[in-house]
Amino acid sequence: MSYLPHILITDALIYFLLVLVVGFAVYASRHEHLRAPWRQVFNRPLAVAALMVLSVYISIGLADSVHLRERISDTGADRADMEAQYSHQVISLLDIFLGSLRQHSEKTYSMPFATHAFSMETVIGQDGSVRREHPRLLYGGAHLKDISKRGQDIAVKTVTGILVGLIAWLLFAVLIIKVVAVRTHMAAGALWLRIKRGDTRFPWRSALSTGAVISAIVSALIVLSGNYHVLGTDQVGNDVLYKSLKSIRTGLLIGTLTTLVMLPFAVSLGIMAGYLRGWVDDVIQYTYTTLSSIPGVLLIAAAILSLQVYMTANPEQFTTVAERSDMRLLFLCIILGGTSWTGLCRLMRGETLKLREVDYIQAAVALGVPTRKIMLRHIFPNVMHIVLISVVLDFSGLVLAEAVLSYVGVGVDPAMDSWGNMINGARLEMAREPMVWWSLSAAFVFMFGLVLSANLFSDAVRDAFDPRLRKR
Amino acid sequence: MTAYIVRRILYAIPILLGVNILTFALFFVVNSPDDMARVHLGVKRVTPEAIDNWKSEHGYDRPLLFNSKEAGLEKITDTIFFQHSARLFVFDFGQSDDGRDIGYDISQRMWASLAIALPTFIVGVLINITFALLLAFFRGSLFDISGVILCVILMSISGLFYIIGGQYLLSKLWHLVPISGYDSGVNALKFLVLPVIIGVIGGIGAGTRLYRTFYLEEINKDYVRTARAKGLSELQVLFRHVLKNAMIPILTGVVVVIPLLFIGSLIMESFFGIPGLGSYTIDAINSQDFAIVRAMVFLGSVLYILGLVLTDISYTLVDPRVRLN
Amino acid sequence: MSDLLLEVNDLKTWLDTESGTVRAVDGISFTMQQGETVAILGESGCGKSMSALSLLQLVPSPAGRIEAGSVRLEGRDILQFAEKQMREVRGKRIAMIFQEPQTSLNPVMTIGEQIREVLPDRESLSQEAARTEVLRLLTAVGISDVKRRYDEYPHQLSGGMKQRAMIAMALAGSPDILIADEPTTALDVTIQAQILDLLKSIQNTTGMAVLLITHDLGIVSQSADRVLVMYAGQIVEQAPSDLFFSRPRHPYSQKLFRALPGRGKRGARLEVIPGAVPPLTTQFSGCRFVQRCERAQQICHETVPAWHGENNWGVRCHFYDTEEPVRNASETSAVTTAEQKSPGEAFLKVESLKIHFPIQKGILRRTVGYVKAVDDISFEINKGRTLALVGESGCGKTTAGKGVLQLIRPTAGSVNYLGKELTQLSRGELRALRRQFQIIFQDPYASLNPRMLVSDIVAEGLDALQTGIDATSRQQKINALLEKVGLNAEAGLRYPHEFSGGQRQRISIARALAVDPQLIVCDEPTSALDVSVQAQVLNLLKQLQDDLGLSYLFITHDLSVVEYLAHDVAVMYLGRIVESGTLQEILDHPAHPYTRALLSAAPVITRGGDKPVAHEVIKLEGDIPSPSDPPRGCHFHPRCTVAESRCRKHFPETTMLTTTHSVRCHLQK
């Protein structure tokens, strides 16, 4: 099958962000003052474990950011003169990986690992009798001949999955240890002993054990999800695990694009206000005081509302559903950025005010260095650590905010996969007896994993980069 | 001091004007009143007459900024900007899009908001200050480290989860308190317990951790060394010296939100069915009632600026170095 | 020794850091008698403060720990005391005052409350009695208007007053020992004299012992009975004060004396101690001073020197008994080349320079007054000469320096450089002229951008000139500059944090030299440095002046540096120049009462042999007034010992005593 790449605007921005991050990593590795704190971050076991979890999320998010349109195989496809036909439906690399998971949808709710639907349905028997029963699911546990063997089957599959995962990881770990041993000129056995004692600079022990846990979980999920809906299905019968995985991209996007959008403004305006003073300072201060005086949720609500009206009034500008929800996501990021840059801008201004009186800046003025260059060469590198700290600290807050905003009705497009929408949808079923708890829980668990690891990682980053904390 | 307050109030005027212009631009410039009418009327029933009708009913049939048809001062006053935005300055909120008096609604509903927001705030701050003090006293110990990790875990959980989980456990499973609703007077109490508990727990993680860093920052200062050299005990040092100094940064974050307590919490109120200003706003957002959203944005800004002034005044109470002028 | 009070034995305090265990205090032993003043003398980082904190078990935890040793207070080892017992020692048996009175007092508690906390059995005292006692203490430390001060907060007191309050706090527990950790380092010379006096008189009345921690040989010479010299965590020499000053025995002590600048050494190079203090993370197998010692032999590298001599007069050196090599001959026959040089023509004229900062008040932020930081000062700088601008903190000398460079735009007055009026130039024109004037700052840690490579820092001026030089010649120029200030070319590839304070100052100088300036404003370039390093920087500055014909505007409060380096001197007080003239005129015939007081307040090192030089100290009362509200008439009259009624009425006009010597004092008419 062939595909046509399809780049959404947010995809493009993500690629751009990726280039920036890689560029920064290369830059940081060449500058000792940046390398040293990062080394400190990577020497913290908790931070490394958190980073490994984060990287799982990030890889899923990235795979979900490569969008394609499938080629519709029709008869004329091999004729050269005829243009190939591509589907209107946009799918991502992740969708292709998850293939069956995406396509195996049931009619409506079903519990995790269920073989039957959650609600009763009226079924007409072969003998014409009308019964109400929980119908058998199309895919969930469909391979089972004998339903009573379900528990056994699940156990076997889980254990197999975990074992496969662990063995695969073990092979990988052995390879890594070999490589490290060669590079550090140590015997592999000795290195292994030191890792076991936790006696290495880079916390290999926690890195390898985190990897083992992740690998086991992923492998078990792969094995199980082929035959079951591990996390159940939602109202329209979609697999909840699939939806949770698809939501990762939304969460990551909100957490990163928002920052990407607001960073240039916050940093440049803050530095300008602090260094140039005078009317520039007055104008910038006025702008951010005004913006920050509006309670955030209200400003976002107001902006999203008028965006909604605009989209309703001009439907012709948004052709596909994917584009429409993508635009809305982008706008949400811009609006969130518009409300959250003020804090960083204020910080930048304050720090610049302090810096402009510092001797090396005065020396630069005395040397006749142009103002633009002073801001770029002297001030900017010396406020970078604050930017970095606030970026990583903001990330988890933004992921959490997405859920709340979607709940209020001013979040991402209701058609989009997001944890907020999952919670919002499940909330309506709260009153149902017994409760439909799985989609809610799945969203929380996935969100918790991302936010917790982001928080732990950002803590380490802050400890390493904040000069006030470093002194202790 | 008086001069300072007067100056701050004068400074608030251009800011509120900015807020007004911003909301005005969002609601009337990005989208014309015609677009709004269309949204409200629904796509199907739209006719030019219906749109005009809707606009004149709600007073959106005037020009935006300048009315050339009128004479004299009316040129400016008989405009959408003046009628719908500028009048907010005298707290004349006008009518909502479905014809209710917004000012009256606000005065009725803010007490319910206050009834959950105030106790949540007070209990929350007290608990955070105490927990943080405890962690700071045992700093570096296993207790401190596990406390901090617990805080990180608590703050990594979505607020929605606290609400849904709390409702599920306390109301649905154990039937201790009603799941949602509100009543007047003392009867309101049983409806308030759950939201307050959830509000406090939801804030513990971030609050305790923040205050702990404030304490630790103070503990490393020279005057604490002096206090120890004087022969004071660790408790005396903590309570008499550190606590008082750490209150200064704590106050910055705390006082500024006090006026905003009137607006309440959007999520809490809508989950628990509290008829406060938070749920009022949410309802307005869901029914796309722009007049109410506009009014709430303005009110929010006023209260925020009030909070800033209060913060500055409270500084003079705890920090003898600050003199306002 | 019946009145033995304190006996420290083999005390070791170690700190755990990322780069390893720092042996900050590595086995020190000493004793203190009742009523005695013992000074611990040492440069920064030698472990002297850590030793003091160890005595009170106040070592910062968890990084620091007392590894070994004993501290016997009247026979009882207080290092074995539990925290609770220790509390009875702190403040009551051993009290401590610190270097920075500014940060050492709790900013949100009144002075009275902070002192009352220390009163013994304060629980049993009535409110009234406690207050009376605190007032008595405040009076005892020479604070006036005590009833008002009792309820004031630290920020309402001047630096000197805060240090007095600290002393009152220390006295409140009537301790047997007072540890004073650099008690006057943050204070001005005239205030320093007051505080040292106060300590002496309190000691006379209460009989308490003082452990004085300082880096200043002058203070030691004036106040101490006995001296302990600390180097790299150890005591290397211990001696009674007079013996120490007449015959220092450790090579390090001897070097210190010879590195001191002063009038007697004018024209000669100061002796420097090469290298730097070794990191205290190292395991020493020989003498700690060996790398910097000229007399080092094989044995010094191999064997740790033992303690030679008695407890109270001994030295840790293998060659303590060999004679100190003959002193630099030039020290006495000092007047050399520089003196004879005829003053070149004035190329920079500053006239009636005023820099005022507005004070704004009220609803509309109207300007209600001005802080007159610099108020009508005039001076000239001649080619190849050094003008020293001398004054205490807050007198406006730094502001004046920045005003000359147009880093702060003056309010009024003129700065004329070879006919060009700098104050009138546009920003562009000024930028083109900037290269003629450069500046070197006090704080070596703030004057270099930590994010830039040293070579980029040095080349910053070149880049700003936009001469369009190619990369190779740029690199060559950088290397040449680094070499000129005594650094390797290889230094350019490193970041500032890898350099010590003295090396950083050299980098600053290289940066300034890059644009071939005519004038360098030196804003206290050596006051953050240790004596041995200061000598290196002063030598460099002197040599550059001789080689390149640079002029310096040397801003300082340190008279010994002025004596060593300056040709002309201008004394500033509260924004005005009160006296100016050649160095000789100012030092030998000071005309203004303030100049005289300043000269006499600087601690003088009296070396044993030539001891009883009549050194009459003119004590100034009170503090320096605020420049936002200077006294009417002559600014100095409230502190002047000879003020008359006319001094209170109007500011005196300039009186020319000679063609070069002018003074503004009514009594010099």
C239-287 pLDDT tens trace: 998 889 888 889 898 888 888 888 778 878 888 888 778 888 888 888 8
Cβ–Cβ of A444/B39 closer than 8 Å? no
Type of residue at C414:
S
User: What is the tens place of the pLDDT at every residue in C356-395?
Assistant: 998 887 666 778 888 888 988 999 998 889 999 998 888 8
Q: Any idea which of B108-112, B268-272, C333-337 has the lowest mean pLDDT?
A: C333-337
**Minimal C-alpha gap between C636 and chain B (Å):** 28
Environment class of C361 (CB within 10 Å of its CB; exposed 0-12, middle 13-18, buried 19+): middle
How does the average pLDDT of chain C come out, rounded? 86
User: What is the tens place of the pLDDT at every residue in A355-402?
Assistant: 998 999 999 999 989 999 999 999 999 998 889 888 888 899 999 988
Residue B190 forms contact with C (CB below 8 Å): no
Asked whether the beta carbons of C371 and C628 are under 8 A apart, the reply is yes
Per cent of chain B over pLDDT 90 is: 30
Range C52-75 average pLDDT: 88
pLDDT at A465: 86
Range C325-341 average pLDDT: 44
Cβ–Cβ of A367/C434 closer than 8 Å? yes
* A32, A360, A369: residue with CB nearest C447: A360
> Could you tell me the sign of the dihedral formed by the alpha carbons of B162, B164, B170, B174, in that order?
negative
Does the predicted interface ipTM exceed a cut of 0.90? no
Residue B117 forms contact with A (CB below 8 Å): no
| Order of strands, sheet of A86-92, starting from the edge strand that comes earlier in the sequence | A3-5, A67-71, A86-92
Quick check: helix, strand or coil at residue C376? strand
Range A188-214 average pLDDT: 87
pLDDT at C333: 39
Q: How far is the C-alpha of B175 from the C-alpha of B168, rounded, in Å?
A: 9
Question: Which phi and psi angles does B105 have, rounded to 5°?
Answer: -55, -45
User: What is the tens place of the pLDDT at every residue in C500-551?
Assistant: 888 999 999 999 999 999 999 999 998 888 888 888 899 999 999 999 999 9
Q: How confident is the model at residue C189 (pLDDT cuts 50, 70, 90)?
A: confident
* C92, C104, C105: residue with CB nearest B231: C92
Per cent of chain C over pLDDT 90 is: 39
Type of residue at C516:
D
pLDDT at B245: 92
**Minimal C-alpha gap between C446 and chain A (Å):** 6
Give me the residues of C, 138-197, that contact A with CB < 8 A. none
Range A56-80 average pLDDT: 77
pLDDT at C331: 42
Q: How confident is the model at residue B325 (pLDDT cuts 50, 70, 90)?
A: low
pLDDT at C545: 92
pLDDT at C343: 56
For each of the domains in chain B, give its residue range(s) and CATH number, in order of start.
2-90 (no CATH), 103-318 (1.10.3720.10)
Range C628-633 average pLDDT: 85
Inform me whether the pLDDT recorded for C1 exceeds 50.
Answer: no
Q: Report residue B9 as tokens.
A: 């109030």
User: What is the tens place of the pLDDT at every residue in C427-456?
Assistant: 888 888 888 899 999 888 899 998 888 999
pLDDT at C506: 92
Inform me whether the pLDDT recorded for B315 exceeds 70.
Answer: yes
Q: How far is the C-alpha of A303 from the C-alpha of C245, rounded, in Å?
A: 78
Strands C314-315 and C308-309: antiparallel
Cβ–Cβ of A404/B301 closer than 8 Å? no
pLDDT at B209: 92
How does the average pLDDT of chain A come out, rounded? 86
Domain ranges for chain A, please list them. 3-103, 144-225, 247-471
Cβ–Cβ of B222/C87 closer than 8 Å? no
User: What is the tens place of the pLDDT at every residue in A416-445?
Assistant: 889 988 888 877 777 777 778 888 899 999
User: What is the tens place of the pLDDT at every residue in A441-457?
Assistant: 999 999 999 999 999 99
Q: Any idea which of B155-159, C153-157, C295-299 has the lowest mean pLDDT?
A: C295-299
Element (H, E) at C551: strand C551-556
**Minimal C-alpha gap between A302 and chain B (Å):** 7
Q: Which of C59, C46, C52 is nearest to C98 (CA)?
A: C52
Cβ–Cβ of B35/A310 closer than 8 Å? yes
Q: State the chains in contact with C (3 or more Cβ–Cβ pairs under 8 Å).
A: A, B
Q: Which of B257, B268, B262 is nearest to B296 (CA)?
A: B262
Question: Which phi and psi angles does C386 have, rounded to 5°?
Answer: -115, 120
Inform me whether the pLDDT recorded for B285 exceeds 90.
Answer: no
Range B179-204 average pLDDT: 85
The fold adopted by the segment(s) A247-471 is MetI-like fold (1.10.3720)
pLDDT at C352: 92
Which residues of chain C neighbour A33 with C-beta distances below 8 Å? 450-451, 495, 497
Which residues of chain C neighbour B222 with C-beta distances below 8 Å? 98, 100, 103-104
Number of separate helices (H) and strands (E) present in chain C: 24, 24
pLDDT at C491: 87
pTM for this structure? 0.86
pLDDT at C170: 92
Range A313-330 average pLDDT: 78
Does residue C62 have a cis peptide bond before it, meaning omega lies within 30 degrees of 0?
yes
E strands of B103-221, at which residues?
none
Which residues of chain C neighbour B6 with C-beta distances below 8 Å? 363
pLDDT at C273: 83
Q: Which of C537, C383, C386 is nearest to C447 (CA)?
A: C537
Which residues of chain C neighbour A377 with C-beta distances below 8 Å? 449, 452
Q: Which residue of C has its CA nearest to A360?
A: C447
Inform me whether the pLDDT recorded for C39 exceeds 90.
Answer: yes
Strands C576-582 and C662-663: antiparallel
Strands C177-181 and C551-556: unpaired
Asked whether the beta carbons of A290 and A422 are under 8 A apart, the reply is no
Q: State the chains in contact with A (3 or more Cβ–Cβ pairs under 8 Å).
A: B, C
pLDDT at A266: 93
Asked whether the beta carbons of B240 and B232 are under 8 A apart, the reply is yes
Asked whether the beta carbons of C622 and C602 are under 8 A apart, the reply is no
Q: Any idea which of A106-120, B295-309, C25-39, C447-461 has the lowest mean pLDDT?
A: A106-120
Q: How confident is the model at residue C335 (pLDDT cuts 50, 70, 90)?
A: very low
Q: Which of A231, A236, A296, A239 is nearest to A438 (CA)?
A: A231
pLDDT at C237: 92
User: What is the tens place of the pLDDT at every residue in C279-331?
Assistant: 888 888 888 888 888 888 888 888 888 888 877 788 998 887 765 554 443 34
Asked whether the beta carbons of C501 and C528 are under 8 A apart, the reply is yes
Strands A67-71 and A86-92: antiparallel
Q: How confident is the model at residue C336 (pLDDT cuts 50, 70, 90)?
A: very low
pLDDT at A81: 52
Cα A242 to the center of its chain, rounded Å: 15
Report which listed range, A41-45, A55-59, A92-96, C652-656, is most confident.
A55-59
Inform me whether the pLDDT recorded for C2 exceeds 60.
Answer: no
Type of residue at A225:
S
Q: Any idea which of B177-191, C395-409, C553-567 has the lowest mean pLDDT?
A: B177-191
pLDDT at A471: 43
Q: How confident is the model at residue C332 (pLDDT cuts 50, 70, 90)?
A: very low
Which residues of chain B neighbour A461 with C-beta distances below 8 Å? none
